[in-house]
Homo-oligomer: A and B are copies of this chain.
C-alpha cells in the first residue's frame, strides 16, 4: 500500500468520539479517565487553570460564555456535555450554533438547572414530589409554613451544591437569617417542606439519545450538613421499594427528556412513599461506587450515552459496596494527603480516588474511597478504616 493510499484510508476511518465537558472538576476528571479506555478524547472548558480535569486532559481556560473559546472548543469536539449546573445556558447555545450536539439538550438543561422550574416540571408530569412553592418574600415562606408546618428548606434556584444555596429554617424566628444566607431579595427561592424520611435514596439513570434506558441499583445516601458523606449500594430496602424507586427515577429522567447519566435523589418517607428530591443531569457523587462495583461505571456510560453508543450493563459485580467521601477537615496544602495516598495500603477491598485539589478547605471534597464487601457492614468497615488511616 502506498503512503498516499494509507493516508486516504486513515482519513476515511470513523472518527473517535470527541467530547467536550463544560466544567473541569472531579466529575470531568473521572470522565476523562473512563474516556481513555474507550478511546474517546475529552476537552474541558473551565475558568480555573489547573482544574482537577485539566491536570489530566486538555483544558481550555475561559469563562463559560467566552465566544472565542467556545468557537475553539467547537472545532475540537462533536458532542458537549457538562459536569455541573452552574454553566450558563448561553454556552450551550453558542456551541450548538457551531454544530456541536448538546447532551443534555438545551431545553432539558434549562428545566433542570433551575431547581424551582425542575420541581414544577416534575410535578406537572405526575412525578411524586414533596410539598414546595416559589417564595419571593418571607411572607410567602410563612404562608407555606402555615400550611405545611416548620421546618422548611429554602433553596436558591441555581448555583447550589453540597449545602451551598440551601438553608433550613426550623421556625419563624430562623427565617430571616436563613433567607439572608441565600442572598434573599435578588430572585425568588424554592421552598420545600422538610421531609421526615426513612432514608435518602438515589439511583443513576442512563438515557441514550434514542430514549433507551439503563438504570443502576438504588443506593442509600447519608448526608452530613447537606453534603453526601456515605453511599450504601445497594440500599438495604425491600425489593418492592427499590423497584418503585427505580421506576420513579426513570420516569423523572424521561419527563425532563434527559440524555446521558442522571443522578436522581429521592426520599423514602416514613409512610413508605418514594418522592423525588432533585435530578442532576450528569455523573453524580452517589454513583462513584460504580467504578469498582458495577460492570460499567457511570462515567463510561455517560460517555457512551452522549456519543450515541450502546449503553453498558449496569449490574453490580459484588454483593455490596460503600463509598465515603474524603472531606477536608481543615485548611492548608493537600501535599500530605497526596503523599499519604501514594503510600496507603492497597487491597481488593478499598480503593482511594483523589481529585488533585491542591488546597484543603474544611468540608471540601478531596476524593473518595470505595470499598467492596460481601455485606454492606463489611464494606463500610473497610471504607471507614481506610478513611481514618488517611487522617485528612
Binding site for B on A (CB under 8 A): 9-10, 13-14, 16, 29, 32-33, 35-37, 39-41, 50, 52, 55-58, 295-296, 304, 309-310, 312-313, 317-318, 333, 335, 338, 342-343, 345-348, 353-354, 356, 358-359
Flag if A36 contacts B41 (CB, 8 Å).
no
> Residue of B at shortest CB range from A14?
B335
Flag if A55 contacts B16 (CB, 8 Å).
yes
Flag if B36 contacts A32 (CB, 8 Å).
yes
Chain B contacts for A358, CB-based, 8 A = 10, 13
> Residue of B at shortest CB range from A315?
B346
- Beyond A29-B36, A333-B13, is A346–B56 a contact (Cβ under 8 Å)? no
Chain B contacts for A310, CB-based, 8 A = 342-343
The smallest beta-carbon distance between A317 and chain B, in angstroms, is 4
The smallest beta-carbon distance between A273 and chain B, in angstroms, is 35
> Residue of B at shortest CB range from A40?
B56
Flag if A33 contacts B37 (CB, 8 Å).
yes
The smallest beta-carbon distance between A296 and chain B, in angstroms, is 6
> Residue of B at shortest CB range from A6?
B359
Flag if A317 contacts B347 (CB, 8 Å).
yes
The smallest beta-carbon distance between A69 and chain B, in angstroms, is 18
Out of B41, B295, B312, B343, which one reaches A56, CB within 8 Å?
Answer: B41
Flag if A313 contacts B37 (CB, 8 Å).
no
Flag if B39 contacts A356 (CB, 8 Å).
yes
Flag if A36 contacts B13 (CB, 8 Å).
no
In the complex, what distance in Å separates the CA atom of A58 from the CA atom of B59? 11
The smallest beta-carbon distance between A171 and chain B, in angstroms, is 35
The smallest beta-carbon distance between A64 and chain B, in angstroms, is 18
In the complex, what distance in Å separates the CA atom of A51 from the CA atom of B76? 17
Flag if B57 contacts A57 (CB, 8 Å).
yes
> Residue of B at shortest CB range from A53?
B36
In the complex, what distance in Å separates the CA atom of A72 from the CA atom of B129? 56
The smallest beta-carbon distance between A73 and chain B, in angstroms, is 16
In the complex, what distance in Å separates the CA atom of A364 from the CA atom of B359? 46
In the complex, what distance in Å separates the CA atom of A50 from the CA atom of B9? 13
> Residue of B at shortest CB range from A50?
B10
- Beyond A13-B359, A317-B348, is A354–B39 a contact (Cβ under 8 Å)? yes
In the complex, what distance in Å separates the CA atom of A39 from the CA atom of B56? 6
Out of B304, B333, B345, B354, which one reaches A313, CB within 8 Å?
Answer: B345
> Residue of B at shortest CB range from A56?
B36
In the complex, what distance in Å separates the CA atom of A32 from the CA atom of B56? 9
Flag if B33 contacts A57 (CB, 8 Å).
no
In the complex, what distance in Å separates the CA atom of A321 from the CA atom of B36? 23
In the complex, what distance in Å separates the CA atom of A256 from the CA atom of B333? 39
Chain B contacts for A333, CB-based, 8 A = 13
In the complex, what distance in Å separates the CA atom of A35 from the CA atom of B313? 26
Chain B contacts for A348, CB-based, 8 A = 317-318
The smallest beta-carbon distance between A349 and chain B, in angstroms, is 9
In the complex, what distance in Å separates the CA atom of A309 from the CA atom of B347? 19
> Residue of B at shortest CB range from A334?
B13
9 pairs of residues in contact across A and B, judged by CB atoms under 8 Å: A10-B50, A14-B335, A33-B33, A36-B36, A36-B57, A41-B55, A304-B342, A310-B342, A318-B348
The smallest beta-carbon distance between A238 and chain B, in angstroms, is 27
The smallest beta-carbon distance between A114 and chain B, in angstroms, is 29
> Residue of B at shortest CB range from A313?
B346
> Residue of B at shortest CB range from A318?
B348
Chain B contacts for A55, CB-based, 8 A = 16, 39, 41
Chain B contacts for A40, CB-based, 8 A = 56
Out of B39, B317, B318, B353, which one reaches A37, CB within 8 Å?
Answer: B353
